[in-house]
């Protein structure tokens, strides 16, 4: 039997062995790619730069900021495709089965080539307003494509590198009940307010009629916010649900307006709030976030000068630190001398890296920057003094 098989079926056996070997290699490659795309960006305790010093001609570059909650059929392949199309860019791309969240910096040519590929890919094919936009380049502030990808001034040096990761959530709220089906629900979309509508409500100054809620982190709202906003002292977005749970009674029956940097956090924040707050609570979000609001302001300067409601700067997660409207007012102060100041440094203590508002004069008084005396004297017993204070403020109710 063995002789028969070897004499007459040797080629078939060899072909089957090759097929099985190829399957094993493909499986091994798949697992290796999966591991690489899920691992940490950098060493534990490391952090991103918060300043940039280069000689780039900014007219030759742009930065885009966008997200979409949409079913991605093959997240791994989508991430691998991004490694190819973004290879000459820097920034952060987060991909999950629920969608994509990205901030990318590159030359105008590289960004345009990337977007032309992206808008033809499976997760974007149905968005006719941005796939058929004319021109396809991000040059017209009134075009849907421009509003969706939110271009701003910056070069590749605002990020240290290119990070493409596979994640469980593109914006980690940590609530399994806030799923893609709810984010895609037509009723959820009805809660989005265009920048002009959002502005018109705020400019009426009837604060008792609504609650204005900042869904960002405390260090973001510290240097810029809408007038009259409630600013939770949270350090990361996954702490937001606990904040809402503690303040349910204060929100009961209110009209709630929410905002964030580009809209991605508000999408999940408002979905969660609709689940846990009474049905008579009206919940809205600023569509496109602060970024699109500032863009709208630039096109409506006369109206804004008469009735400004935005104060300070819009914090961004790259070396630029913030974007502003006409240089922006300064709403925060140096934590040491109380001089008006809104440029962050980072605490020098290993593993801390808390952002510190310390003016240039105060920074020169020490060799290093520290967020508090505990860090300066290396006396932490778990949490430094300023982090303990933040946690106390986080528990304060509306």
* CATH number, domain containing residue 258: 3.40.250.10
> Is 302 found in the same domain as 204?
yes
> Is 196 found in the same domain as 301?
yes
The reply to whether 7 falls in a domain is: no
> Is 389 found in the same domain as 295?
no
Radius of gyration of the chain (CA): 24
Domain endpoint, select from 122, 137, 166:
166
Q: Is 260 a catalytic residue?
A: yes
The reply to whether 22 falls in a domain is: no
Domain endpoint, select from 113, 135, 166:
166
> Is 233 found in the same domain as 149?
no
The reply to whether 265 falls in a domain is: yes
> Is 192 found in the same domain as 141?
no
Domain count, the chain: 3
Domain endpoint, select from 123, 139, 166:
166
> Is 131 found in the same domain as 63?
yes
- pLDDT (tens place) for every residue of the chain, 398 residues total: 656 556 555 666 566 656 656 666 656 655 665 566 667 655 554 567 778 888 899 999 999 999 999 999 999 999 999 999 999 999 999 999 999 999 999 999 999 999 999 999 999 999 988 988 777 888 888 899 999 999 999 999 999 999 999 999 999 999 988 889 888 888 888 899 999 999 989 987 655 679 999 999 999 999 999 999 999 999 999 999 999 999 999 998 889 999 999 999 999 999 999 999 998 899 999 999 999 999 998 888 765 555 678 999 999 999 999 998 766 789 999 999 999 999 999 998 877 878 999 999 998 888 889 998 888 888 766 788 888 999 999 999 98
> Is 222 found in the same domain as 288?
yes
pLDDT at 189: 81
Separation CA 37–CA 31 (nearest Å): 10
* CATH number, domain containing residue 129: 3.30.70.100
> Is 134 found in the same domain as 89?
yes
Structural domain that includes position 226: 180-312
The reply to whether 12 falls in a domain is: no
The reply to whether 26 falls in a domain is: no
> Is 145 found in the same domain as 62?
yes
> Is 291 found in the same domain as 239?
yes
Separation CA 269–CA 213 (nearest Å): 10
The reply to whether 172 falls in a domain is: no
The reply to whether 321 falls in a domain is: no
Separation CA 259–CA 262 (nearest Å): 8
Separation CA 173–CA 167 (nearest Å): 12
> Is 184 found in the same domain as 158?
no
The pTM assigned to this predicted structure is 0.87
Catalytic annotation, pick one of 86, 260, 352, 371: 260
> Is 201 found in the same domain as 292?
yes
The reply to whether 261 falls in a domain is: yes
């Amino acid at each position: 039997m063995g002789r028969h098989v070897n004499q007459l079926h040797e080629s078939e056996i060899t072909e089957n062995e090759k097929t099985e070997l190829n399957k094993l290699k493909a499986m091994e490659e798949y697992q290796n790619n999966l591991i690489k795309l899920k691992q940490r960006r950098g060493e534990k305790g490391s952090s991103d730069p918060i300043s940039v010093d280069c000689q780039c001609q900014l007219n030759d570059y742009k930065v885009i900021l966008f997200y979409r909650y949409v079913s991605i059929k093959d997240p791994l392949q989508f991430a691998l495709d991004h490694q190819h199309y973004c290879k000459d860019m820097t920034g952060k791309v987060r991909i999950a089965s629920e969608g994509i969240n990205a901030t990318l910096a590159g030359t105008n040519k590289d960004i345009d080539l990337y977007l032309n590929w992206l808008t033809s890919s499976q997760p974007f094919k149905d968005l006719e307003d941005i796939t058929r936009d004319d021109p396809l380049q991000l040059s017209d502030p009134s075009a849907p494509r421009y509003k969706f990808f939110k271009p701003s001034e910056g070069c590749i040096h605002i990020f240290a590198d290119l990070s493409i990761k596979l994640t469980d959530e593109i914006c980690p709220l940590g609530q399994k009940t806030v799923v893609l089906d709810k984010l895609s629900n037509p009723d959820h979309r009805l809660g989005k307010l265009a920048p002009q509508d959002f502005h018109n409500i705020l400019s009426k100054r009837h604060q008792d009629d609504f609650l204005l809620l900042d869904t960002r982190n405390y260090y973001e709202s510290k240097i810029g916010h809408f007038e009259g906003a409630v600013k939770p002292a949270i350090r990361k977005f996954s702490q937001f649900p606990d904040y809402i749970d503690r303040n349910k009674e204060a929100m009961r029956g209110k009209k709630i307006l929410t905002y964030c940097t580009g809209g991605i956090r508000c999408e999940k924040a408002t979905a969660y709030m609709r689940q846990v707050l009474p049905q008579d609570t009206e919940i809205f979000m600023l569509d496109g976030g602060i970024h699109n609001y500032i863009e709208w302001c630039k096109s409506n300067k006369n109206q804004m000068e008469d009735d400004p409601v935005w104060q300070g700067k819009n914090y961004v997660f790259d070396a630029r630190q913030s974007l502003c409207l006409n240089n922006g007012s300064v709403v925060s102060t140096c934590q040491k001398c109380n001089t008006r100041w809104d440029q962050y440094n980072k605490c020098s203590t290993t593993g801390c890296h808390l952002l510190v508002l310390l003016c240039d004069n105060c920074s020169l008084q020490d060799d290093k920057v520290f967020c508090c005396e505990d860090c300066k004297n290396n006396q932490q017993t778990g949490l430094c003094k300023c982090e303990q204070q933040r946690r106390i403020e986080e528990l304060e109710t509306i």
